[in-house]
Amino acid sequence: MRVAIIGGGPGGLYAAALLKRLDPARDVTVWERNAPDETFGFGVVLSDETLGGIEHADPVVYEALRRDFVRWDDIDIVRRGIRHRSGGHGFAALGRHRLLEILHTRCRSLGVELRFSTEAPPVGRLAEDHDLVIAADGVHSTTRETYSPVFRPQVTEHRCRYIWLAADFPFDAFRFEIAETEHGVMQLHGYPYGAGASTVIIEMREEVWRAAGYDALTPQESAERCAKVFADALGGRPLRFDKSAWTTFRTVVNDRWSHGNVVLLGDAAHTAHFSIGSGTKLAVEDALALAACLTEQPDVPGALAAYEEERKPVVASTQRAARASLEWFENLRLYLGQPPRQFAFNLLTRSRRVTHDNLRLRDARFTAAVEREFGCPPGTPPMFTPFRLRGLTLRNRVVVSPMDMYSATDGVPGDFHLVHLGARALGGAGLVMTEMACVSEEGRITPGCAGLYTGRQAEAWRRVTDFVHRQAPGAAIGVQLGHSGRKGSTKLMWEGIDEPLPSGNWPVLAPSPLPYKPGSQIPRQLSRAQLTDIREQFAAAAWRAARAGFDLLELHCAHGYLLSGFLSPLTNHRTDAYGGSLDKRLRFPLEVFDAVRAVWPAERPMTVRISATDWAEGGTTAEDAVEIARAFAAHGADAIDVSTGQVVAEERPEFGRSYQTPFADRIRQEVRVPVIAVGAISSWDDVNSLILAGRADLCALARPHLYDPHWTLHAAAEQGYEGPGALWPAPYRAGSRRPRTGRTDAPRPRLSLSLDR
């Protein structure tokens, strides 16, 4: 096999060494345009997991790395002259030059041909002359651009400028330092990579960079000025540069990683922001996987397919974490008002990979100090601290999210709703929300949707609220009011979600006559008179909700239903006073809110659920969501329930763990209004992390409560918590401890006999 590798960075070199080691008969050639000692950056950080893979795959390389690694466990966060240290993290780093030297030596010893200061031939010619071409040619990959119609790359530039520098002394921890200057916030990321050297990355938003005049400075002048800004961190020492220049980070994603016998590796295939690790780590892991797949599969096409199948999910997960970290630093100014320890905890958990429980295992003392500062009583996890909204105090921070059950008859909730909501109230949640209760018959989504447009429906809901208040003391129950808009008159979810009824359809209404998707009913555009009627329907439903005994009312302005349809520019094309600018698109939802607030008891809280983004070009943006939340808060909303999407059928959500919480976080920090976070929050560890970091005040969970109605009580039991935030109903107390299982600690039977003496 003849193998051509374009790019002599760590990923390309390590791939070359592995391929040659696994099969010495392979002819492996590396082309590198730069000289052997030319590189970008100073230090490289590798995780223990990656090092374990290197040790297993090539002990010679591992041993050489081990001798030069600098190891440390601590992270320092410094803001306003106060330092907080968290331990137990485990890092290993070495100089990038030294890493390349080790890989050069290993490649030569194995017989890899290294061609430095040499441009690789065109990739098409290499593909003809070789069995395999590995494109490890970096973030500006020529190979990727050559075959861009096949790889379909997406390159996103971000909002911060950064520069790689170095200091001639070792930090004793991974250091994050924040500088609040007259021009804006700047941050330092620093870590040791040798006995006498540290990498120092200075980062700031583009507008701060320009305001501070860095756009007009040479690299030397930039290094000198950065050294003055962060003089305390550096102990007055200078910073040096080596091919350093200010740049913006670019996230690279490719739909495909291979084409014929050409495959992308490392930054050519993907990038992840430096704040969660190094591109070198990902490239080395790519090389390990590619070499393994070429060994395991019978041919090159099969190997490349297996490599892509193995690595893409891992990289996608890393990129999601990196994106969360990157955006946290982009919006760092929002968190400057947090208490010192909470700020440090927020920074440490920014990527959602390090969590409350994980950090407690690493550094119990630090985590306990954060909890004390937050106000957690001894032994109380953050999720079990109370929270007050107007006249209602919730016993904990867990909300059973509204979930349509499609099980009502003529809008009347029945035994199913009593058992469904009653079970979840008994299960320990602080607040249990009903599904969307529709304000009119034509405002239903499906024939099975519950309502609050008749007295009979209100009486049925009273049966549910009475049960919750009587049998689950301490649990609160809220109602969500809404109107389906253009998404109404459809089948039950399990019969065909958002599909029109085969018969018996009723007319649907919307801000503009735009169907939800092809085949959907075309809605009628609402007239002024109809807007008045609907506003009164909402007010009448709210009056019934109050008499039915609900503790909280939420106005549904999300997910493409009627009020949401007014907010999004994709669904509101009106030219009257209710369409056009965001202020005008807000007008009718705010009118409805005011009408509901006027009849809803003053001591009971009201929340509003919004879609903070449409996940579609030209739709509601995160910036719009802040202004929408600000408007509702100004009108008296006690909290904003921040969801996303489901507004247009052509949406492209960026799914992932807790993927909607950054939108809630931003609204909380900018509007200073309590928020309810939703969206793929699945574990009590997630809830604790979000609450303690100050990204949310309450967390709403849906699917976990379908899986386990007693999710909250079980979360308390698993954390050893037995306080007032999670009271077991008296009949259930015997089940408040996890049931015993079969023994796993018994002596194992002897299955072999050693005759060695």
Active site residues: 561
Alpha carbon of residue 279 to chain centroid: 20
CA distance 328 to 356: 17
Q: How many CA atoms lie within 13 A of 214 on its CB side?
A: 27
CA distance 682 to 29: 48
Pairing type for strands 606-611 and 524-525 reads unpaired
CA distance 288 to 17: 10
Residue 42 DSSP class: S
Is residue 738 a contact partner of residue 721, using CB atoms and an 8 Å limit? no
Is residue 19 a contact partner of residue 291, using CB atoms and an 8 Å limit? yes
Encoded amino acid at 299, one letter = D
Residues in a beta bridge with 162: 203, 247
Q: Which two tokens stand for residue 680?
A: 């793929």
CA distance 1 to 657: 42
Q: Which two tokens stand for residue 711?
A: 């999710």
Is residue 287 a contact partner of residue 293, using CB atoms and an 8 Å limit? no
CA distance 550 to 542: 10
Residues in the chain: 757
Cβ atoms < 10 Å from Cβ of 551? 21
Q: How many CA atoms lie within 13 A of 379 on its CB side?
A: 10
Is residue 604 a contact partner of residue 614, using CB atoms and an 8 Å limit? no
Pairing type for strands 75-79 and 174-181 reads parallel
Please report which residue ranges of 130-250 form alpha helices under DSSP H: 142-146, 148-151, 206-211, 219-229, 231-234
CA distance 79 to 537: 52
CA distance 696 to 253: 30
CA distance 608 to 638: 8
CA distance 404 to 415: 15
Q: Which class for 348: exposed (0-12), middle (13-18), buried (19 or more C-beta within 10 A)?
A: buried
Strands of 140-212 (E only): list them: 153-167, 174-181, 184-194, 197-205
Is residue 268 a contact partner of residue 286, using CB atoms and an 8 Å limit? no
CA distance 422 to 468: 6
Q: Which two tokens stand for residue 269?
A: 């295939």
Encoded amino acid at 734, one letter = A
Element (H, E) at 85: strand 82-86
The three-state (H, E, C) secondary structure of 283-304, written as one string: HHHHHHHHHHHHHHCCCHHHHH
Q: Which two tokens stand for residue 589?
A: 């939802």
- Buried/exposed 248-280: b ≥16 CB within 10 Å, e otherwise: ebebbbbebbbbebbbbbbbbbbbbbbbbbbbb
Is residue 562 a contact partner of residue 505, using CB atoms and an 8 Å limit? no
